[in-house]
A and B are shown apart, each in its own frame.
Chain A
Amino acid sequence: MDIVQFFNEPANYLLVFLLVFTIILGFEVISKVPTVLHTPLMSGANAISGVVIIGAILLIRQAATDDYFSLGLGLIAIVLGMINVVGGFAVTDRMLEMFKKKK
Chain B
Amino acid sequence: MLSFIINIAYLVGAVAFVWGLRLLGSPDTARKGNLYAAFGMALAILATFFVPLEQDNGNFGWILGGMAGGGLIGWLAAKRVKMTDMPQLVSIFNGLGGACAVVLAYAEIAQFYAGARTMSSGESLIVLVALLIGGVAFTGSLLAYAKLQGLVWDKQVILPRHQLINMILLLVVIVLGVVVFLQDGSGGMTMVVIFTVVTLIYGFSFVAPIGGADMPVVISLLNSFTGLSAAAAGLVYGNNIMLVGGILVGASGTILTVLMCEAMNRSLFNVVIGGFGSAGSTQTGDDGDQVVKEIGNNDLAIQLFYSQSVMFVPGYGLAVAQAQKILKEVDDMLEANGVDVKYAIHPVAGRMPGHMNVLLAEADVPYPKLLDLEDANAALPNTDIVIIVGANDVVNPAAENEPGSPIYGMPVLQVWKAKNTVVIKRSMSPGYAGIQNPLFFHDNNKMYFGDAKAKLQEVAAEIKNL
Taking beta carbons and an 8 Å cutoff, which residues of A are in contact with B?
A: 2-3, 5-7, 11-12, 15, 18-19, 22-23, 25-27, 29-65, 69-71, 73-103
In this complex, how many residues of chain B approach chain A with their Cβ under 8 Å: the count is 115
A102 interface neighbour in B45, B62, B366, Cβ under 8 Å: B366
Question: Which residues, 63 to 86 on B, are CB-close (under 8 Å) to A?
Answer: 63, 65-67, 69-71, 73-75, 77-79, 81, 83, 86
B78 touches A37 (CB 8 A): no
Interchain CB contact under 8 A, B25 and A34: yes
B25 touches A32 (CB 8 A): yes
* Contacting pair A49 B74 (CB below 8 A): no
Contacts of A61 on B, CB cut-off 8 Å? Answer: 51, 53, 56-60, 63
Give 6 CB contacts A-B under 8 Å. A36-B345, A39-B355, A51-B241, A73-B107, A98-B362, A103-B368
Measured CB to CB, the residues of B under 8 A from A are: 17-18, 20-22, 24-27, 30-31, 33-35, 37-38, 41, 44-45, 48-49, 51, 53, 55-60, 62-63, 65-67, 69-71, 73-75, 77-79, 81, 83, 86, 89-90, 93-94, 96-97, 99-101, 103-104, 106-108, 110-111, 120-122, 219-220, 223, 226-227, 229-231, 233-256, 259, 345, 347, 352-355, 357-358, 361-362, 364, 366-368, 370, 372-373
User: Is A84 in contact with B352, judged by CB distance below 8 angstroms?
Assistant: no
Interface of B is mostly: helix
Given contacts A26-B251, A99-B27, contact A42 B71 (CB under 8 A): no
Closest 5 CB pairs of A and B: A82-B70, A26-B251, A38-B354, A87-B74, A78-B66
Residue of A with least CB distance to B254? A27
Chain A nearest CB, measured from B102 CB (Å): 9
Shortest distance in angstroms between B188's beta carbon and chain A's nearest beta carbon? 15
Given contacts A29-B25, A36-B357, contact A100 B31 (CB under 8 A): yes
Q: How far is the CA of A58 from the CA of B51 in the complex (A)?
A: 8
Q: Which of B21, B97, B121 contacts A2 (CB 8 A)?
A: B121
Nearest-CB distance from A76 to chain B (Å)?
5
Closest CB in chain A relative to B60 CB, distance in Å: 8
Among B18, B21, B241, max chain A CB count under 10 A is at B21
Complex-state Cα separation, A74 to B71, whole angstroms = 15
Residues of chain B contacted by A7 (CB below 8 angstroms): 122
- Take A39-B354, A47-B41 as given contacts and tell me if A86 and B78 are in contact as well, using a CB distance cutoff of 8 Å: yes
* B56, B77, B253, B361 — most chain A CB neighbours (10 Å): B361
CB distance from B119 to the nearest CB of A (A): 11
Partner of A42, one of B38, B219, B229: B219
Contact pick for A3, options B22, B122, B357, CB 8 Å: B122
CB-CB nearest in chain A for B14? A22
B107 touches A48 (CB 8 A): no
* Chain A contacts for B366, CB-based, 8 A: 101-103
**Is the Cβ of A86 less than 8 Å from the Cβ of B34?**
no
* List of B residues within 8 angstroms of A91 by Cβ: 77-78, 81, 86, 89-90, 93
Check B71 against A93 for contact (C-beta < 8 Å): no
A26 CB to nearest chain B CB (Å): 3
- Residue pair B236, A55 in contact (C-beta under 8 Å): yes
B256 touching A42, Cβ below 8 Å: yes
Interface of A is mostly: helix
| CB pair A93 B240 closer than 8 Å | no
Is the beta-carbon distance between B347 and A35 smaller than 8 angstroms? yes
Neighbouring B residues of A58 by C-beta, 8 Å: 48, 51, 53, 237, 239
Q: B370: nearest residue on chain A (CB-CB)? A: A36
A25 touches B18 (CB 8 A): yes
CA distance in complex: A83, B37 (Å): 16
Known: A95-B361, A99-B361. A83 touches B70 (CB 8 A): yes
A64's nearest neighbour on chain B, judged by CB, is B57
Given A51-B17, A73-B110, A76-B103, 5 more pairs with CB closer than 8 A = A19-B247, A62-B57, A71-B62, A78-B67, A82-B74
A5 to B67, CA, bound (A): 38
Bound-state CA distance A100–B111 (Å) is: 48
Measured CB to CB, the closest approach of chain A to B193, in angstroms, equals 13
Whether A57 pairs with B63 at a CB distance below 8 angstroms is: yes
Contacts of A60 in B (CB 8 A): 59, 62-63, 66
Residue of A nearest to B56 (CB): A61
Q: Is the CB of A15 within 8 A of B238?
A: yes
CB contacts (< 8 Å) of B354 on chain A: these are: 35-42
B100 and A81 within 8 A (CB): yes
B70–A30 CB distance below 8 A: no
Bound-state CA distance A34–B120 (Å) is: 43
Indicate whether A15 sits within 8 Å of B249 (C-beta atoms), given known contacts A39-B354, A57-B45, A57-B49: no
Report A-chain residues with C-beta under 8 Å of the C-beta of B53.
Answer: 58, 61-62
- Given known A-B contacts A54-B242, A98-B362, A80 and B97 have beta carbons under 8 A apart: yes
Given A54-B48, A91-B81, CB of A45 within 8 Å of CB of B86: no
B237, A55: Cβ atoms closer than 8 Å: yes
Q: Are B111 and A70 in contact (CB under 8 A)?
A: yes
